[in-house]
Structure 1
Amino acid sequence: MSAHPAAPSWSLGDLRIHRIDEITLPAETGSWLLPEATPALLAELPWLRPDFTEADAPLLVSHSFAVEADGLRILIDTGIGNGKTRANPAWHGLETDFTDRLTAAGFAPDTVDLVVTTHLHTDHVGWNTRLLEGHWEPTFPNARYLTARTEWDHWAATELDPARQQMFDDSVHPVRDSGQLDLVDLPESTGTTRRGVEIAPGVHLRPAPGHTPGQLAVELRGSARSALITGDSIHHPVQLAHPQLTSCVDLDPAQAVRTRAHLLAELADTDTLLLGTHFPHPTGGLVRTDTTGRYRLHPEPPTKTTP
């Protein structure tokens, strides 16, 4: 029997999404990332407590999502990773049991077929690689690693600061050098509902620019319902009620707001499950319009399934 509890999961009918936990981020991370999410603003939204706020700050976590579609095992984002040299103390030198949790959920690293990277930020690519005999090697040796061509082209043309260069050197370039990186051409904007690229039956990559130029979201269309994995187009549920709240690291804040507004308008008052890449438990829910005309999240806790 596995030493790890079953991964939390949601059923979409013929698709089941598993949440693979990495770490809970320090409380100060939320205040840094979303500086306009002040204690007073958070207090106006009692539905955020106790799951999504603590000590007057937004709570954030790092996790990945795993799904099997048409026999393909797919991992969406790979978190922070172990043993990485990072400027952010909360990310530096981690030693978590992420791959054990992934294996317990039925996605052992050598069985993963596709790794989808929503964008090339440090906390989304870390487990792309692991240290083997002094070298950073792909964690998923049999997988294709997918990201948007726009995302790759942006960073390839950007002069990287030392911290970001370190991340590319240990978590991105080894995948490129192994020949496992695939670049996906996506539409340029979110402007047309449900546009995107299907990479497996029911698994669609959709443009979600703003946080980074080539960020993508992942739409899963099961036989019973659909779900949308946000990437960092929505960092925290407070941004449902206040879509204008931007992250301090958004490269194009105005575009990030437009993307978020479009996605929320599309999801509002439907049965499509919203799954936040940094939302703490319960992680997912339905977008609903309240009596003030604002959006809010009606949480839908995951179930526990036997790995």
Structure 2
Amino acid sequence: MNDDPAAAAAARSAVAARRRVLRGALAVAGAAALHPLAAVAGAGVAAAAPAPASGTSVIAVRRFGRYEVLALLDAHGPFPGTGQAAFPEATDADWARARRLDPAAFGPGDTWEPDFRCYAVRRPGGRVTLVDTGIGPVGSPASGWAPVPGRLPAVLARAGIVPGDVEAVVLTHLHEDHYGWSVTPEGVPVFPEARYLVQHAEVAALGPTRTARTYVVEPLLRAGRLHEVDGRTPLAGPAGPGSAVTLLPTPGHTPGHQSVLVTGGGGRLLITGDVLVHAVQLVAPGVRYLYEADPATARRSREHLLAEARRTGTVLATAHLNRPFIHPWAVDVLTH
């Protein structure tokens, strides 16, 4: 969602402290024999995850042909500052429509309370493509501002997904609330059999000291797990006629932001990442988000994405709205 340098500096210090805590906890538990994800969850990281908003499901499921798409709630909690500060161009009318669409996002005093959500695309045979890995444990880079610890390890277990089931991890972009459970605090890939896929433009834009590079990119490179793609990329093999998972460049929020298109059974679903981060950008796509790297490009990506979704009847799967799945045509029905 953002990559605040001050928060990142604080988070690096917290990561070091967290590593010491985890080492001690895991030693006591005899965790050397555990898989990294089981070890982290076993240390109590996931158990204390913030509660979701009232009425929000931790797991929501849609089927598209033989694909099963699972929305996995990592966390819910307030974003720093006010909604108006994050979306300075939004009008009173925009806010009124957004509130009708996603009331759980509106906290006291104009605070914004987003969900932090990942997605799993499960194909026949149980193999999984995981889209984003959330905010991570206490001490992860998102700890400076996000409601850590996230609950993703526990939610994956509830969904019947073990780390070895995950054949691909798609990182929509390299903001810290989207890669938190990619590696352990020691830099070990949490999903050891997965390719971690990110757009080349996203990695190329990172300076040598950026937290995303040191915390997640370099460990994945050392492990041989990072795979850079360039542009539109078919990912999973077909799960029946007309079925596919495809990576689509949607730049602007970050230079190499990507979304994930799932087609199957005659339906389409688009996992949006941070192309839109609040309902106010769904009802008013021209509204700028304060932390977009290139607002003009982000606006074009968002407007094109929403226009195409309306034209094709594509369901949107959102990362930060408090409703995981929404039809673009339903926006008009729900907000008027």
Q: TM-score surpassing 0.5?
A: yes
Structure having the higher helix fraction is: 2
TM-superposed CA distance for 1:40, in Å, is: 5.8
Residue 240 of structure 1 aligns with which residue?
282
TM-superposed CA distance for 1:269, in Å, is: 5.5
Q: Which digits, 9 at most, give the CA deviation of each residue in 1:257-293, with x for residues without a partner?
A: 111111111111543111111111x22111128xxxx
**How many residue pairs align between the two structures?**
271
Residue 6 of structure 2 aligns with which residue?
none
Residue 233 of structure 2 aligns with which residue?
197
Residues 137 and 210 (structure 1 numbering): CA distance in 2 closer, same or farther, change over 3 Å?
Answer: same
Given the alignment, which residue of 217, 223, 231 partners 2:265? Answer: 223
For 1:77-88, what aligned pairs fall within 5 Å after superposition?
Answer: 77-86=132-141
| Consecutive unaligned residues in structure 1, runs of 5 or more | 187-195, 290-294, 300-307
Whole-Å separation in 1 of the counterparts to 2:150 and 2:97: 35
SS in 1 for 2:184: strand
Residues 8 and 45 (structure 1 numbering): CA distance in 2 closer, same or farther, change over 3 Å?
Answer: closer
Residue 248 of structure 2 aligns with which residue?
206
Residue 72 of structure 2 aligns with which residue?
20
Residue 191 of structure 1 aligns with which residue?
none
For 1:258-277, what aligned pairs fall within 5 Å after superposition?
Answer: 258-268=300-310, 270-277=312-319
Asked whether 1:166 is paired with 2:220, we answer no
Residues 83 and 137 (structure 1 numbering): CA distance in 2 closer, same or farther, change over 3 Å?
Answer: farther
Whole-Å separation in 2 of the counterparts to 1:296 and 1:28: 29
Residue 183 of structure 2 aligns with which residue?
129
SS in 1 for 2:120: strand
Whole-Å separation in 1 of the counterparts to 2:131 and 2:142: 24
Residues 38 and 123 (structure 1 numbering): CA distance in 2 closer, same or farther, change over 3 Å?
Answer: farther
Structure 1 runs of 4+ aligned residues shifted over 4 Å read 27-30, 295-299
Residues 62 and 6 (structure 1 numbering): CA distance in 2 closer, same or farther, change over 3 Å?
Answer: closer
Residue 284 of structure 1 aligns with which residue?
325
SS in 2 for 1:171: helix
Q: What TM-score does the superposition give when structure 2 sets the normalisation length?
A: 0.73
Residues 130 and 33 (structure 1 numbering): CA distance in 2 closer, same or farther, change over 3 Å?
Answer: farther
Q: What TM-score does the superposition give when structure 1 sets the normalisation length?
A: 0.79
For 1:22-61, what aligned pairs fall within 5 Å after superposition?
Answer: 22-26=74-78, 28=80, 31=83, 32-37=85-90, 41-45=94-98, 47-55=100-108, 56-61=110-115
| Consecutive unaligned residues in structure 2, runs of 5 or more | 1-46, 48-56, 239-243
Whole-Å separation in 2 of the counterparts to 1:177 and 1:209: 27
TM-superposed CA distance for 1:15, in Å, is: 1.2
Residues 84 and 33 (structure 1 numbering): CA distance in 2 closer, same or farther, change over 3 Å?
Answer: farther
Q: Which digits, 9 at most, give the CA deviation of each residue in 1:158-210, with x for residues without a partner?
A: 364xxxx3343223321111000001111xxxxxxxxx321113100001011
More displaced stretch, 119-128 vs 105-114:
105-114
For 1:50-129, what aligned pairs fall within 5 Å after superposition?
Answer: 50-55=103-108, 56-69=110-123, 71=125, 72-86=127-141, 89-91=144-146, 94-129=148-183
Asked whether 1:153 is paired with 2:198, we answer no
Whole-Å separation in 2 of the counterparts to 1:45 and 1:96: 26
Whole-Å separation in 1 of the counterparts to 2:269 and 2:334: 14
Question: Taking every aligned residue pair, what percent have the same amino acid on both sides?
Answer: 32
Residue 183 of structure 1 aligns with which residue?
228
Residues 62 and 225 (structure 1 numbering): CA distance in 2 closer, same or farther, change over 3 Å?
Answer: same
SS in 2 for 1:125: coil
Whole-Å separation in 1 of the counterparts to 2:334 and 2:68: 20
Whole-Å separation in 2 of the counterparts to 1:274 and 1:29: 27
SS in 2 for 1:209: coil
TM-superposed CA distance for 1:101, in Å, is: 1.1
TM-superposed CA distance for 1:10, in Å, is: 1.1
Whole-Å separation in 1 of the counterparts to 2:162 and 2:82: 31
Whole-Å separation in 2 of the counterparts to 1:27 and 1:240: 18
Whole-Å separation in 1 of the counterparts to 2:201 and 2:329: 32
Counterpart code for 2:68? R
Whole-Å separation in 2 of the counterparts to 1:45 and 1:79: 24
Residue 298 of structure 2 aligns with which residue?
256
Whole-Å separation in 2 of the counterparts to 1:211 and 1:297: 28
Whole-Å separation in 2 of the counterparts to 1:219 and 1:87: 27
Residue 51 of structure 2 aligns with which residue?
none
TM-superposed CA distance for 1:298, in Å, is: 5.5
Residues 176 and 297 (structure 1 numbering): CA distance in 2 closer, same or farther, change over 3 Å?
Answer: farther
Residue 302 of structure 1 aligns with which residue?
none
SS in 1 for 2:285: coil
